[in-house]
Chains A and B, each alone.
Chain A
């Protein structure tokens, strides 16, 4: 059989394995198997690629694969589950960077492409490069390397000008020609654009941004696949681009924000600006009394937010849950779609702590249960339980689907301090008659609750 045909058939099989693998990820039971299939597809595709006729530089190729794999393997094995979002951002950025770099290699070469392929290639280069630098910024922000979020009215204007300049550069590359200097300028512009687009986006919007960057890299890879006539890249990239776009829309919807709003307006203030009080008083409770409330309840729902992850309290909260269940208390976890720093992040953190996934409910399943619940414990979450989303038309979060924690008989809010959430919006729930505030670090509080429940 001729080698070129064998390569094509293998790419075809890889593409099928990717799709079937992703499909299998729609259920927790088959998800790991799905990943195994996708992995097999990747190994097959890489293996046959060595047999392309006329290639050289095999030594460099093997070294690059070994180095890249080793670095990624080492970091991916070591990273804590709470840091998963930034690592995903980083690996995603690497993919975008690879797509951009492929375009650079092709454009530096002697081969000439027709106007259509050239346009697709240049588009892929821009998207890949933006995804690359954007992901690096997202990584830096999530990892706490960049703390400030610049909020200037000039940023959108600057971005618009830069985007137009990049577009003009792209058109020039296609119509006029592509000298090395021009290429460097073009890639630099796209790189800076990715940085300035991502930099002003607030921490609370990160789940949407990561999801979007993932979709962009997929799209860039797909477009590159068309240019270099590689079916596996074409199909896998496009599938990821489309699925990523859908996921991004779901996330944006869960926050009741338009994608454009997230990208081009500054909303999440993470500088801790405090809004003026809505009046009323917050009532405190100490851990001993809170433990009594929990231990003698018949059902309890925990609402974990990012604060829980920051305090690494998920293991302690699960320990507390097991104690309560021994006493016959029914415990569930309610998770808002945007809890954590990437879509579904909180589910992963709870799973890591050993919480079985049938105890974890999402918003639609559990909202009807809050009125029948004795005690709701909100840990490190704020905006996702803010009733203003249902009632206050002028609130920035009005219309956002929330967890109805305020409808339970009693609510305990575990919180580090009195400040408002990421959005800087005052939360009426904290002032409600049946709400008790339990101040402190989530892990600390969980420890105290465990100790108190044990003595009862």
Chain B
């Protein structure tokens, strides 16, 4: 990728991250952190490519480890966040139903 285009992407993505998070209420800080923890689990994709092109045994071993760790990051992050969000309810909302979103 052209150096400067990459720099622009970096800048815009950074502002996006800042903007997206700045309006989150305190009550959601933990799920949000956990959710963003899940999102950087996208590293698994890079790990798959690294392993996919690995040739030597050393590369294969480290690549395998990378995919293992990345997959763990993504799945663990998702499950933990989902479990947390499942628990948030209002008083109007009968506690029995976890079916989730109001339309």
Contact = CB atoms under 8 A, between A and B. Distances in A.
A105 B30 contact: no
Contacts of A411: none
B15 to A, nearest CB: 7
A95 interface: yes
A241 interface: yes
Nearest to A227: B46
A234 B26 CA distance: 27
A143 B43 CA distance: 26
A292 B82 CA distance: 40
Nearest to B14: A242
Nearest to A28: B88
A246 B17 contact: yes
B47 A35 contact: no
Contacts of B1: 226, 229
Contacts of B78: 35, 38-39, 42, 76
A337 B68 contact: no
Interface in A233-274: 233-247, 250
A18 interface: yes
B40 A218 contact: yes
Contacts of B58: 108, 180
A88 B36 CA distance: 10
Give the dominant DSSP class at A's interface: helix
A224 to B, nearest CB: 6
A368 interface: no
A46 B46 contact: no
B28 A31 contact: yes
Contact of B3 (A27, A87, A116): A116
A427 B50 CA distance: 54
Nearest to A337: B26
A234 B15 CA distance: 14
Interface string B50-73: 111111101110111111111111
Contact of A243 (B36, B42, B51): B36
A393 B95 CA distance: 46
Contacts of A25: 24, 28, 31-32, 35
A360 B47 contact: no
A408 interface: no
Interface residues of A, number: 117
B44 A356 contact: no
Interface in B19-39: 20-39
A344 B26 contact: yes
A357 B37 contact: no
A22 B80 contact: no
Interface stretch (A55-63, A161-169, A278-286): A55-63
A101 B27 contact: no
B28 to A, nearest CB: 6
Contact of A233 (B43, B62, B73, B100): B43
A348 B84 contact: yes
B28 A105 contact: no
Given A94-B70, A105-B59, A226-B1, A247 B33 contact: yes
The residue among B24, B33, B38, B58 with the most chain A CB atoms within 10 A of its own CB is B33
Nearest to B52: A55
A102 B95 contact: no
B101 to A, nearest CB: 5
Contacts of A71: 72
A343 B27 contact: no
B45 A95 contact: no
Interface stretch (A152-160, A209-217, A295-303): A209-217
A79 B29 CA distance: 19
Given A32-B85, A72-B79, A18 B42 contact: yes
Given A35-B82, A57-B60, A240-B39, A72 B75 contact: yes
A392 interface: no
B13 A222 contact: yes
B27 A236 contact: no
B44 to A, nearest CB: 6
Given A28-B90, A73-B76, 5 more contacts: A92-B37, A222-B13, A239-B36, A342-B30, A351-B84
6 contacts: A11-B45, A38-B78, A42-B39, A56-B53, A239-B14, A247-B29
Interface of B: 1, 3, 6, 9-10, 13-18, 20-56, 58-60, 62-91, 93, 95, 100-102
